[in-house]
Structure 1
């Protein structure tokens, strides 16, 4: 990480800082958890509960410069997922400059709320009207909640994902449980398939699993990371493997070996239509168990 420059104390153990590249972060140093959030993108970069391993993966080649999406952590895909609509991949939220709304610190947790300002939306989606906020609850586990309200006068389509990058010891040795018998769209072939047994990795994987699946478990060398979603009827599993890793920015050629993504989403068939005044919350909870 680049050296820090400007700092501002927001609350006990919570600091706003600007790195030497000019990118702004909120840094949390609490007895229960350490974390960093980039204001550009509303992007949780890291989360380390006390006495545990990191819950999130960040590329060791990530320069953390302004104007570029970060490779790792929890990117916010909104109001579309992937290339479902014209415009930047995964929408506008992961590059917009978010505003800090509140910080609440207790003995058990730190809660941080951000909002995407209307000026950002007016630039990129001028025909749509939304109120968008994200809440981070940082403690012995991690919860991220993205809340969208249709503030316009007509129905609006919403696709989104909490694009969590998780660390693994060796991608060829891990498995994901909780998806057996679930149907999925293989985005590499365009075919609908059914999952049989755990998900294992020996090639590129890019899948949208359908249904309110609930908790998914990443099993890795006797340890488990659980990803539990709500407000979701789709779960995305992604690993770029060898060839795509070479094309990705800020990503080591062998980076695919040490990460995968389990994303709580409203993607594919699960895109939502929100009527005027309607609110929808998408949430993911990530926890580590030995």
Structure 2
């Protein structure tokens, strides 16, 4: 674990009014903030750009809570696939900063989930997991998991990216034509037959998908690319559910959409002893 004295001058360890700790990045190429608890990036703004992530303005970011926005790490299960906290143990667990490198155009950070945390919460499983952030003109997040046990272990996960949009009613998402998806609201498997637009709650897992996804909103254009992922989750809670969500403004659904690199549903993985898997998302702007 890196000590505060080992950090480059572009990085600082700060605490908010509630005592939650963050790595604050102030670099000529990018500004960002990552919570140590959850290894959760909540801000990323490349120089000369608008923010790449949406963060709920009503989330007080208190310790021991799952934050609403940014890129929550859903690990080692997605949603309610297993008993225990929704989306797994990673979002509220303490992570250690183990590497930090600053270059002229890029900041690299690596955090590891404390081994004792995994042992305590998952006593029958043996994992090593770390997340790498590459902060530059785009954001790259890579979550690497290794099975350190003696038997195969199942893994499902997601990089639950909240992306900013001008107005959800004007958003069009392309790159999904012809792709089958599980509609979690209808309990059915359907096929995307046109660019996706929003007029109600959307909660879908797209399957066997590898390409880029483009989010068009007003004069902004975000692009999400992935690696180690054959499923992608799209989510917007819309009005009724937004009113029930914690740490979420009633009209928050208007200015966000989640496009999540995932290993979800039938894309869950079984790792053999000694096998590793890396899930990657890249978020940037396209001209």
TM-score (norm 1): 0.96
Q: Which residue of 2 aligns with 1:132?
A: 129
Q: Which secondary structure does the structure 2 equivalent of 1:123 belong to?
A: helix
Matches within 5 A, 1:65-214: 65-214=62-211
What 5-or-longer segments of structure 2 have no aligned partner? none
Q: Which secondary structure does the structure 2 equivalent of 1:94 belong to?
A: helix
Match of 2:244 among 242, 247, 263: 247
Q: Which residue of 1 aligns with 2:51?
A: 54
C-alpha distance in 2 between matches for 1:9 and 1:147: 24
Q: Which residue of 1 aligns with 2:9?
A: 12
Residue 20 of structure 1: how far off its partner (Å): 1.9
What 5-or-longer segments of structure 1 have no aligned partner? 1-6
Residue 140 of structure 1: how far off its partner (Å): 0.5
Residue 289 of structure 1: how far off its partner (Å): 2.6
- Which 4+ residue blocks in structure 1 deviate beyond 6 angstroms? none
Is the aligned partner of 1:217 residue 2:201?
no
Q: Deviations over 1:198-228 (max 9, x none)?
A: 1110000000000132210001113210000
Q: Which residue of 1 aligns with 2:272?
A: 275
C-alpha distance in 2 between matches for 1:128 and 1:198: 41
C-alpha distance in 2 between matches for 1:198 and 1:222: 17
Q: Answer whether contact 2:75 2:88 (CA < 8 A) is retained.
A: yes
Q: Deviations over 1:96-119 (max 9, x none)?
A: 100000100000100000000111
Moved more, 141-150 or 12-21: 12-21
Residue 12 of structure 1: how far off its partner (Å): 2.4
C-alpha distance in 2 between matches for 1:225 and 1:211: 22
Q: Which residue of 2 aligns with 1:226?
A: 223
- Aligned residue pairs, count: 284
Q: Answer whether contact 2:155 2:268 (CA < 8 A) is retained.
A: yes
C-alpha distance in 2 between matches for 1:155 and 1:96: 24
Q: Deviations over 1:45-68 (max 9, x none)?
A: 110000000000000001011010
Q: Answer whether contact 1:157 1:272 (CA < 8 A) is retained.
A: yes
C-alpha distance in 2 between matches for 1:63 and 1:8: 28
C-alpha distance in 1 between matches for 2:20 and 2:219: 37
For the aligned residue pairs, the C-alpha RMSD in angstroms reads: 1.0
Residue 279 of structure 1: how far off its partner (Å): 0.3
C-alpha distance in 1 between matches for 2:139 and 2:232: 18
Q: Which residue of 2 aligns with 1:4?
A: none
Q: Which secondary structure does the structure 1 equivalent of 2:239 belong to?
A: helix
Q: Deviations over 1:106-147 (max 9, x none)?
A: 001000000001111112111000000000000010100000
Q: Which secondary structure does the structure 2 equivalent of 1:269 belong to?
A: helix
Q: Which secondary structure does the structure 2 equivalent of 1:114 belong to?
A: strand
Q: Which residue of 2 aligns with 1:3?
A: none
